[in-house]
Structure 1
Amino acid sequence: MKLARPIALLPLTSLALTDVNSPTRPITLSKTGGFQIGGKTISSPLNTNQTLSCDHGYMEYFIPWRPRRTSVVMWHSSSTQVWQNRWNGGEGYKDMFLRRDYPVYLWDGPRVGRANWACETTTYVPSHQDQANFGAWNFGPRWPVWWDDVQFPTRDEAAWKHATSARYVEYDTKANVELQSDAAAIAADSGKIGTDIVYLTNSAGGLRAMMTATKANGTNIKGIVTYESIGYVFPDNVNITAGRGGFGPFIVPLERFKKLAKLTAIQFVWGDHRSENFTSVIESRLAAKLINQYGGNAQVLKLSEDAGLKGSTHIPFADMDNAKVAALLDDLLEDNALDEYKDGEAWI
């Protein structure tokens, strides 16, 4: 596989705030806002009259003037910023799907971002991981070598600094996966984010969305689209050992796993340079096979091999060709009748 030049960044420039090719169709909203959901209240061990509300999730919402039925819940692995803009500051998925009239929700799970009040002690230790993220986010095989065709503005130092700083502290533990999916299941069952929910997730968010679907009691969750999901859920009737850490595998009772087969559609999406023997690719194919075995509709989509999109990173919805990646999501939603308006009319 051909590799690119070593990283060569130009002097710092301002991150583009507008895109010269941005859509001219305005975004018309009926309302925006946010709310906390889930969590609990704990009392001080020294004074039971003193309490703390904690371990809740936070949901920010944007409702179009004429909304579709499907609510798109964007669940980040690093921060909500990855859904808001392309790497160079151009239009991200949030505005793209508001222009398509989908209600958009940005989710911060418990102990993350705007929901960071924890019921237990947490510790942050600087880990100096910018260079490690370069490889983890699939910008190249190793720092500082970019993939030859990578969909990132490689000569824009501001874009690189934006990518490395636009993230929250993550707690990738088994307990955190359970905590976040518990709160998300409460949100899904509440009806406050609609009765037709599709989760768009990235990286460790995919595992959390799958766990959420196995925990939710209602039928509001209709789909999951995971971009490069790291971590999967499997039933307890197959010979798979649960992982010890926060990336799984997670093993759940068969009846809970079967809830994934009841969703309208599940899609596991992979970018470039992810070989078939990559552990998470193997797990995604096995998860899809098992979901479909119980009557589900799950598929694995490789952006390069299956859709001809080259240079996709670990976060393809922020890539320079994210409009093309979004078009594939359009196809999935349309093919599964998840694109209809509340009034029943088709999109014109």
Structure 2
Amino acid sequence: MLLPLLALALTGHSASTNPHKPITLSSTGGFQIGGRTMSAPFNPNLTLSCDHGYMEYFLPTRPRKTSLVMWHSSSTQVWQNTWSGGAGFKDLFLRRDYPVYLWDGPRVGRANWACEATVYTPAYMDTSNFVAWNFGPRYKQWWDGVRFPTEDEDAWQQATSARYVEYDTKSNVELHARAAAVAADSGRIGRDIVYLTNSAGGLRAQLTATLSNSTNIKGIVTYESIGYVYPDNLNITAGKGGFGPYVVPLEDFKKLARVPGIQFVWGDHRAENYSYVQESRRVAGLINKYGGNAEVVKLGEVGVRGATHIPFADLGNEDVAGLLDEFLEGNGLDGRKKIMLCYIGLHVTVYMYRPQTLGFLACMV
């Protein structure tokens, strides 16, 4: 029994990406975080707790040290499955033993208890969803080779039905970022956090990093980010809507340069002169100017063709996951939590590292 345990301690649990590898979890759950409690104007004894975010978590039995926070701008569903219903990034990275967190920002999804009145007016969104998610140049005209099951009408219905109501306003971006910064600084999602974001979630994650007062945010990988944060020394006029540009004090912007790794990822149907591609290159350059480590990756240039606006949900998303593996490894974010081997007589017990409970045991890391 001792030798296998020593091997486990020294080499770590297998990082196999076998799609049939069982997912073993120590716990799952969820919690609300951030937000505020306000009193009714007509009766201060009546209160409402609101504008919090909701975090669902999945913790592997032998976890890596880095927590992956999957932040949607459309729905948590896009992280859970591919367009065909196969394994999404949630399961792909649980099989790699990363703790996974699915985040619903304030007023959307499972965190829709708002401090202000919200309005939903039905709009005919299927057509615009098709184009916005870059399935093709216009409704039901698919890109050649697109990584979507184009002949499967149910797959299309699942995709367009999964979208949450979004509030893409400047105030909502700030609201989401404040709640996410509280979550990041709390330690409840770990001390090594990598945000995986999509679309308008990219702007929110960037702003979160500028608001955070800890060093817990270790990475941001944003797929087709719509909206960017700039420092206030460039004479850039802040946008009035929810897609930026967003302007912050220079000292806050420099917090992005202290994040060990930032990656802006684009599919192969985004032209180089697309405004948000150009912005991503400009912001990456600014982050690097202040000592950061940011890069722009175009999937078509690294051999991943046919990507949609949500490439981690595409058919063959293992290719995109492989690029994320390289990012995490390259930035030293793929390590494992320490495991201690503790000896009691002839028995051997394996513990996750909790020094306060192990002082009386003979242990080795």
Query: Matches of 2:193 and 2:339 in 1, distance apart?
Result: 17
Amino acid corresponding to residue 231 of structure 2 in structure 1: P
User: 1:237 aligns to what SS in structure 2?
Assistant: coil
**CA shift at 1:239, angstroms?**
3.0
Contact 1:262 1:296 in 2 (8 A): yes
Specify the alignment match of 1:325 in structure 2. Answer: 320
Amino acid at match of 1:38: G
Whether 2:282 is the aligned partner of 1:268: answer no
Question: Are residues 1:311 and 2:310 paired?
Answer: no
CA distance in 2, matches of 1:51, 1:167: 31
**1:3-152 to 2 correspondence within 5 Å?**
23-152=19-148
**Structure 1 residue 46: deviation in Å?**
2.0
Say which of 272, 277, 280 aligns to 2:273. 277
What's the C-alpha RMSD, in Å, of the aligned pairs? 1.2
Match of 1:188 among 184, 191, 195: 184
- The Cα shift of 1:231 comes to 0.1
Query: CA contact under 8 A between 1:98 and 1:104: conserved in structure 2?
Result: yes
SS of match in other structure, 1:48? strand
Structure-2 separation of matches of 1:135 and 1:193: 34
- TM superposition shift of 1:206: 0.3
Correspondence for 1:156: 152
Kindly indicate whether the alpha-carbon contact (under 8 Å) linking 1:242 and 1:251 is maintained by their aligned counterparts in 2: yes
Q: Aligned partners of 1:240, 1:272: CA distance in 2, in Å? A: 29
Structure 1: runs of 5+ lacking an equivalent: 1-20
Residues paired across the two proteins, number: 324
Provide, for residues 294-339 of structure 1, a one-character-per-residue CA deviation record: whole Å limited to 9, x for no partner: 000000000002x111100000000001000000000000011100
Q: Which runs of 5+ in 2 are unaligned?
A: 1-16, 341-365
CA distance in 1, matches of 2:182, 2:92: 27
Is contact 1:71-1:103 (8 Å) kept? yes
Distance 1:269 1:24 in 2: 28
The code of the aligned residue for 1:328 comes to L
* Distance in 1 between residues matched to 2:140 and 2:262, nearest whole Å: 35
Q: Which residue of 2 aligns with 1:235?
A: 231
TM-score, scaled to structure 2 = 0.87
The equivalent of 1:257 in structure 2 is 253
Partner of 1:209, secondary structure, is helix
Quote the offset at 1:45 in angstroms.
1.7
- Runs of 4+ aligned residues of structure 1 deviating over 2 Å after TM superposition are none
Residues of 2 paired with 1:46 and 1:343: CA distance? 54
TM-score relative to the length of structure 1 = 0.92
Once residues 275 and 237 of structure 1 are traced to their aligned partners in structure 2, the CA distance between those partners, rounded to angstroms, is 29
Q: Give distance in 1, aligned partners of 2:240 and 2:339.
A: 46
Deviation at 1:344, TM superposition (A): 7.5
**Pick aligned residue for 2:335 from 328, 340, 343:** 340
Amino acid at match of 2:154: A
Determine if the alignment matches structure 1 residue 167 to structure 2 residue 163: yes
Distance, in Å, in 2 between the alignment partners of 1:192 and 1:259 is 21
CA-CA distance at 1:241 after TM superposition: 1.5
Q: What does residue 288 of structure 1 align with? A: 284
Distance 2:91 2:272 in 1: 33
CA drift of 1:22 comes to 7.7
Question: How far apart are the structure 1 equivalents of 2:310 and 2:20?
Answer: 25
- Secondary structure of 2:58's match? strand
Q: How far apart, in 1, do the equivalents of 2:249 and 2:136 lie?
A: 38
Partner of 1:302: 298
Identity %: 72
Q: 2:356 corresponds to which residue? A: none
